[in-house]
Structure 1
Amino acid sequence: MRTEPTERLIDTVAWVLIEGGRILAARPRGKDVFYIPGGKREGDETDRQTLLREIREELTVALIAESVAHVGTYEAALPGGAGLVRMACYTADHVGVLAASSEIEEIAWFGYADRALVPPVDQVLFDDLLARGLLPAG
């Protein structure tokens, strides 16, 4: 009996920080693509726990847990159709100074015009933020 392969799902959380009409993006060491900061959960972490840990590890700031608010959950196909990425996005206030950690090569502020520089699931986020008036088109 032949069974169909199950589709691979990468389940992530991300921090949406918009300042001055631009959204924060980060490029991990060894990669050539920028992503919305965040990552995958470890063990049975909740979205909030994952978000707090990942942002502290990547950007050396502490998110204020009580301020975490869901923006939306977005999905897009992996390159080559090898599965799906699901990204639950949250805003949150933070304390500390944003800085790239040892995991992150570079941080940058992207406008909507930079949409093509991020992965497909991040592009879906950009489109939603534009439609909601949270990320200007210019």
Structure 2
Amino acid sequence: MDSPIRQLIDTVAWVLIDNGRILCARPRGKDVFYIPGGKREGAETDLQTLVREVAEELSVRLDPDTAVHVGTYEAGIPTDEHTVVRMACYTADYTGVLTASSEIEALAWFDLGDRELVPPVDQLLFDELAATGSLR
């Protein structure tokens, strides 16, 4: 019996923690918040994707020399049993003022109590950050 074809959505995310809370963003036209970041384009590296996506979404510039890999997580999408999201997460210093771009409708600082407001792959990050004491 053939197993179903699985689609992989390969993403990179920026982990910004402040006072035990993590920055999340809600794209225009969506009703769910995500960790800022997005899908790679072509042969981009994780860091190239991260810098581009964060600049597009939050109008700040990340310093790739300060990037630290936090972890890589994979989880299915509840509405599509054949799709898995992989999210490589990094911290990095930034310059500029965090501002929602034209593609982002809202920014919010979430703690562990907001875990159910983010997708399953983001929930895995929340769990690990809570276990290490970074997320309250």
Structure 1 length-normalised TM: 0.94
How far the C-alpha of 1:82 sits from its partner, in A, is 2.5
Between the aligned partners of 1:3 and 1:23, the Cα distance in structure 2 is 41
How far the C-alpha of 1:5 sits from its partner, in A, is 3.8
Query: What corresponds to 2:121 in structure 1?
Result: 121
Between the aligned partners of 1:121 and 1:64, the Cα distance in structure 2 is 25
More divergent stretch after superposition (113-122 vs 79-88): 79-88
Query: What corresponds to 1:99 in structure 2?
Result: 99
Q: What letter is aligned with 2:63?
A: I
Between the aligned partners of 2:98 and 2:70, the Cα distance in structure 1 is 21
How far the C-alpha of 1:4 sits from its partner, in A, is 4.6
Query: What corresponds to 2:75 in structure 1?
Result: 76
Between the aligned partners of 2:63 and 2:53, the Cα distance in structure 1 is 13
Query: What corresponds to 1:8 in structure 2?
Result: 7
How far the C-alpha of 1:6 sits from its partner, in A, is 1.6
Between the aligned partners of 2:15 and 2:106, the Cα distance in structure 1 is 17
Structure 2 length-normalised TM: 0.96
Q: Is the 8 A contact 2:72 2:89 kept in 1?
A: yes
Q: Give 5+ residue unaligned stretches, structure 1.
A: none
Please tell me the root mean square deviation across aligned C-alpha atoms, in Å.
Answer: 1.1
More divergent stretch after superposition (114-123 vs 79-88): 79-88
Query: What corresponds to 1:133 in structure 2?
Result: 133
Between the aligned partners of 2:127 and 2:102, the Cα distance in structure 1 is 30
How far the C-alpha of 1:70 sits from its partner, in A, is 0.1
Q: Give 5+ residue unaligned stretches, structure 2.
A: none
